[in-house]
Structure 1
Amino acid sequence: MTELLTTGLSLIGLQLVSRLLTFLLNQTLVRFASPEALGTASIQFEVLINTVLFFSREGVRGGLSRTQDEFNRLSEAGPSEKKDTSQGSLLSITRRQQIVNACFVPIPIGIFFSFVLFFVYRFTVHLTTAQQPHFQTALLFYLIAVLLELISEPAYIHLILAGKTPRRVKVEGTAVTIKTVTTLFVVLLGYRLGRDWGLLGFATGQLAYSLSLTICFWAPHFASPSDHPERTTLALFPRQIAESQIRPTKSFFLDSWVAKADFSLCYALTRQSIIKQFLTEGDKMIISKICPIAHQGGYALAMNYGSLIARILFQPVEETSRLYFSRSLSTSRAAPKEDESSSEDSAMAGLQASVDLLTNLTQFQLHLGLIFVTFGPPYVRLGLWILLGPHSAYLREGSASTIVEVLRAYCTLLPLLGLNGILEAFVQSAADEADLNRMSRLMAVWCAVFVAAVALFSSSWAARTLLLSAEVGMVMATGVNMICRIVYGWTFSRRYVHHRKAGRALSLAKAAPSSFTIVAFILAAILTRWSETRYDTTLSTEKPSGGLFFYRGMLRHLLNGLGCFCGCLIVIALSERNRLRQLLFSTSNKPKSE
């Protein structure tokens, strides 16, 4: 558990630095880069590279994460077993090499998807987008950046399997810093020279980021051990395994590179990721087609602000919990066969620990969701007024003014994103190949539901009746999609725990906030929205009036929210004190080996 907390805090720190640098970058670029450049880079180019990388590596990462304990055990035994020519030692070396070979699978897959998707995008992009300054050069830079990032993938997966989170955090933090500095330098230089280098700046920054990742991830594997003591003594390079070192099977050629079980699992996860990517990035894909390029810039800015919490907090929690679930739920597979009773005890302990963690994380996400829904919407406009300035076009009526409504809707979406993340982490760690295939078919249904929800919430009927813009409708459609995935994830998790007789049930009642807590948040929501109605109209004007009276009103609105927030925290501490005490007790009494 200590290792879990350390990994989680390291990843949260990485995301905090990364998102703050991105935030500062956006705050600067919103004043120097055109909305068209921001929309193209943050919506269209980002969807393009994310799709290539997601298709090529997400399934492999998820599949190989289950081999973490086995890989570390084989790596530790590797140097001594090199001198041992027994059959068991040869099988151990062979098995490790199969895992190493699997780390390289994303490269050929990614190269194929890169050229196909970039070619399709280039010849289907809207003419007004393609006519922006330096569009062709920027697109080429993004293609090279994707290829470079794919080359870094084997070394990245090795760090994950070896549990070297501090080094990964250092490398990615350095890369994000280089990306931010490079982008700002190019954009500001173009601004000083009187040229529009917005797209070129984003592309150069992305290229610098990918190049930095590749160099820093691979550097220890090419340096001498004295320069990098953490360098592994076993090579991280692909190699075909000799026929004499593997069992003869019908799939000999496949087994001579990658274990069939690993390949099947990675393939199942990759097929699932294709539909999952549309469900994840579908809003940006559709926005890029139905909205003018200037509107895309406003939507991109809203998503950048809204995703701060999701990236800083939710993503590290999801990633850390996936690693923990994969390790705990695979204990029975990794345990020695000769000790069946010990294997069963380890498997049950791992399952119980996973159930406890999933329950605690669900409880945490539900309480966090109450905070977002209660305090987010009433303070969106005030927050943007502070960040963008009172004269920003994003806060007035016009082409980009939907940013306020989009962020208000996003506050409701945030708890769904967090809850779905931890449930999918459990599902991907526990599901076998048949479960994953079933989930892939269900994802096709969810995809149809998402498209139907987009058509409904973006229709003229929704605009007239519900007063929804297309951008807000997209956020609501994403919420419908998240609810479908959450229901399945919770149902699967409960069934999985029940069938394996974990000795404890996965119950929503144990994770749900108390009625006292819910009532406190309802009262806080009423008070904060009443406070907002007194000052929101003034903020939406081009030039706030009222002088000292106006700023005194803003301060009063902030203090109202702060008071309600502190009151809700006190209620949580009082009503959930038994759960908190039990959680702290169980954490402090975990064995250090965990």
Structure 2
Amino acid sequence: MVKKSSQLPSTSEQILERSTKGATFLMMGQLFTKVVTFILNNLLIRFLSPRIFGITAFLEFIQGTVLFFSRDAIRLSTLRISDSGNGILDDDDEEEYQETHYKSRVLQTAVNFAHIPFWIGFPLSIGLIAWQYRNINAYFITLPFFTWSIFLIWLSIIVELLSEPFFIVNQFMLNYAARSRFESIAVTTGCIVNFIVVYAVQQSRYPMEIVTSDIDKEGIAILAFALGKLAHSITLLVCYYWDYLRNFKPKKLFSTRLTKIKVHENNELKKGYSKNTSYFFQNDILQHFKKVYFQLCFKHLLTEGDKLIINSLCTVEEQGIYALLSNYGSLLTRLLFAPIEESLRLFLARLLSSHNPKNLKLSIGVLVNLTRFYIYLSLMIIVFGPANSSFLLQFLIGSKWSTTSVLDTIRVYCFYIPFLSLNGIFEAFFQSVATGDQILKHSYFMMVFSGIFLLNSWVLIEKLKLSIEGLILSNIINMVLRILYCGVFLNKFHRELFTDSSFFFNFKDFKTVIIAGSTICLVDWWFIGYVKNLQQFFVNVLFAMGLLALILVKERQTIQSFMNKRALSNSKDV
């Protein structure tokens, strides 16, 4: 009998159940890794200056850019692989479905595509790093070990790309637990390596001929960051390979090498393949990958464009401040919203491998419930975030940051988080259900949005001198445009499924909660304003609990229905 961890989910109920549990696994993994990085970063903040955080944020941006352009389009495209040609099967067909897939092509097709990220990433990493090295601030090039740090960042990119075949297989099989566990171990290892090197240098445990000045310590701090990234990549590869040797290789489910796949008479012949031939890459998935790749290029420019802008228009100190804001200001986004968004994308891509009307309606129902949850949470952030964020942040940062504008800027950042989060699930749905031509059309609009974003950033930062606040406002405008585009698509999609019923009619009953939230906000600002002590913070906590209680009462039927479904599912498992 095949273990559960190596089974492909086949029915819509199984996919929804795994995706729901997967979101939990990803949240717990994110929570664990963020707690570890949170503790170690708060210790590092007291040793390092904003300038060092600025350059490490820049190096992390280079690594993230190469990895994104190398692998994200493949990760999205491989989720659409469907060997049966019939999409999701009924329970009666599950056994035959599993047998067919394990003995033939699905996992091998996914593994073949997983080789592409390395072919893209190897030359791209060399070109991008060489280009950025030429244009980087001359001060950093003169630092000790900086060239070695750049080399280690490049090496960490290559090592991480080598683990991609194993990641793709686990993603396709919705093995969230393994992925969450391995990523938690890797992140923890990287953070510990980074901290140990910095702490050892600060305690002068290196020979004096190696560390003689603050400049030397800054150079080693950057080297420590690069060593941490390399440790992360090596640990991730080792964990995935160990899992492959333990759970996959004995069953011979797939080969890690690029392997030809023979044409299946009942399936690929319908897709234009000739009989008795073979292929490395499934043609429809390859064509979809090309269109998705083009679209993701512009998406990344918009998503990471703030880093490009801040590297060009802001000082190194401001870069460090923005890096701190991104880490603390988007903590909720990365802990809660990002796992939900990713689980939604995986769930929809697997569920909608064929456009079955039942599955389409299920996907819309899931999206509606998620959107309602996001709207409620966004309201809580807007009402309580600006008033309380600076008070909470001041306990987390050391004296080196006390003279910066970070405490004021994080209040503005709170307004950006709801737009960032809502755009995430809307685009996740769009990418999962849109055709290749629709994705290509979206890419052209992303080009326009990129131009608008760059123009807004230049005006707000360079002309109006709004610095980081101007960048945040540009990002908000960017997110509004992207939400509107995907919202129009969602509304049209909803009308086709539910006979001219608007998607946005599902959210017409928020009047009571919005009035209550607005009233609490006005009262809070009138009597307290920005929170300055624990007593005022406690009052805000009571206000938040009151608004949360109102939301729970209003949504009690939806919550009860969800709990009943979970109880029924658990009873079936027993």
TM-score (norm 1): 0.83
Return the alpha-carbon distance in structure 2 between the equivalents of residues 506 and 475 of structure 1.
Answer: 31
Given residue 98 of structure 1, which amino acid in structure 2 is its aligned partner? Answer: T
1:349 to 344, 349, 358: 358
Match of 1:234 in 2: 253
Return the alpha-carbon distance in structure 2 between the equivalents of residues 180 and 363 of structure 1.
Answer: 36
Given residue 423 of structure 1, which amino acid in structure 2 is its aligned partner? Answer: F
Match of 2:132 in 1: 121
Return the alpha-carbon distance in structure 2 between the equivalents of residues 243 and 162 of structure 1.
Answer: 22
Deviation at 1:11, TM superposition (A): 0.6
**Is 2:54–2:321's contact at 8 Å kept on the other side of the alignment?**
yes
Q: Deviations over 1:82-102 (max 9, x none)?
A: xxxxxxx99x73565333211
Q: Deviations over 1:358-405 (max 9, x none)?
A: 00011011111001111111112211222225xx24333xxxx22123
Return the alpha-carbon distance in structure 2 between the equivalents of residues 206 and 325 of structure 1.
Answer: 32
Query: Structure 1: which 5+ residue stretches go unaligned?
Result: 82-88, 333-346, 464-468, 537-553
Match of 1:487 in 2: 484
**Is 1:531–1:560's contact at 8 Å kept on the other side of the alignment?**
no
Return the alpha-carbon distance in structure 2 between the equivalents of residues 404 and 378 of structure 1.
Answer: 11
Given residue 470 of structure 1, which amino acid in structure 2 is its aligned partner? Answer: S
Deviation at 1:408, TM superposition (A): 1.1
Determine helix, strand or coil for the equivalent of 2:118.
helix
In structure 2, relative to structure 1, the CA distance for the partners of 1:580 and 1:327 (3 Å cut) is same
**Is 1:276–1:443's contact at 8 Å kept on the other side of the alignment?**
yes
Match of 2:29 in 1: 14
Return the alpha-carbon distance in structure 2 between the equivalents of residues 353 and 292 of structure 1.
Answer: 49
In structure 2, relative to structure 1, the CA distance for the partners of 1:94 and 1:569 (3 Å cut) is closer
**Is 2:113–2:281's contact at 8 Å kept on the other side of the alignment?**
yes
In structure 2, relative to structure 1, the CA distance for the partners of 1:68 and 1:561 (3 Å cut) is farther
Match of 2:195 in 1: 184
Match of 2:224 in 1: 201
Q: Deviations over 1:243-281 (max 9, x none)?
A: 8877697999x9721011010111111111111111011
Given residue 315 of structure 2, which amino acid in structure 1 is its aligned partner? Answer: P
**Is 2:261–2:280's contact at 8 Å kept on the other side of the alignment?**
no
In structure 2, relative to structure 1, the CA distance for the partners of 1:69 and 1:41 (3 Å cut) is farther
Please show how residues 72-83 of structure 1 align to structure 2 within 5 Å.
none
**Is 2:156–2:230's contact at 8 Å kept on the other side of the alignment?**
yes
**Is 1:56–1:270's contact at 8 Å kept on the other side of the alignment?**
no
Match of 2:548 in 1: 569
**Is 2:108–2:254's contact at 8 Å kept on the other side of the alignment?**
no
Q: Are positions 1:327 and 2:350 aligned together? A: yes
Return the alpha-carbon distance in structure 2 between the equivalents of residues 451 and 251 of structure 1.
Answer: 48
Deviation at 1:503, TM superposition (A): 6.4
**Is 2:457–2:471's contact at 8 Å kept on the other side of the alignment?**
yes
Given residue 26 of structure 2, which amino acid in structure 1 is its aligned partner? Answer: L
1:361 to 366, 370, 378: 370
| Percent sequence identity over aligned pairs | 27
TM-score (norm 2): 0.86
Q: Are positions 1:290 and 2:322 aligned together? A: no
Determine helix, strand or coil for the equivalent of 1:376.
helix
Match of 2:519 in 1: 523
Match of 1:387 in 2: 396
In structure 2, relative to structure 1, the CA distance for the partners of 1:432 and 1:470 (3 Å cut) is same
Query: Structure 2: which 5+ residue stretches go unaligned?
Result: 1-15, 205-210
Match of 1:546 in 2: none
**Is 2:82–2:106's contact at 8 Å kept on the other side of the alignment?**
no
Return the alpha-carbon distance in structure 2 between the equivalents of residues 192 and 505 of structure 1.
Answer: 66
Deviation at 1:120, TM superposition (A): 0.7
1:51 to 65, 71, 93: 65
Return the alpha-carbon distance in structure 1 between the equivalents of residues 194 and 426 of structure 2.
Answer: 36
**Is 2:51–2:320's contact at 8 Å kept on the other side of the alignment?**
yes
1:560 to 514, 520, 539: 539
Determine helix, strand or coil for the equivalent of 1:32.
coil
Q: Deviations over 1:175-229 (max 9, x none)?
A: 01101110001111111225512101110000000011111112233x3xxx547
Q: Deviations over 1:287-331 (max 9, x none)?
A: 112222122112111111012111110110001111111122224
**Is 1:516–1:575's contact at 8 Å kept on the other side of the alignment?**
no
Return the alpha-carbon distance in structure 2 between the equivalents of residues 480 and 47 of structure 1.
Answer: 22
Given residue 140 of structure 2, which amino acid in structure 1 is its aligned partner? Answer: T
**Is 1:366–1:512's contact at 8 Å kept on the other side of the alignment?**
no
Given residue 412 of structure 1, which amino acid in structure 2 is its aligned partner? Answer: F
Cα RMSD of the aligned pairs, angstroms, is 3.0
Given residue 141 of structure 1, which amino acid in structure 2 is its aligned partner? Answer: L
Determine helix, strand or coil for the equivalent of 2:135.
coil
In structure 2, relative to structure 1, the CA distance for the partners of 1:420 and 1:255 (3 Å cut) is farther
Return the alpha-carbon distance in structure 1 between the equivalents of residues 186 and 110 of structure 2.
Answer: 27
In structure 2, relative to structure 1, the CA distance for the partners of 1:3 and 1:303 (3 Å cut) is same
**Is 2:374–2:421's contact at 8 Å kept on the other side of the alignment?**
yes
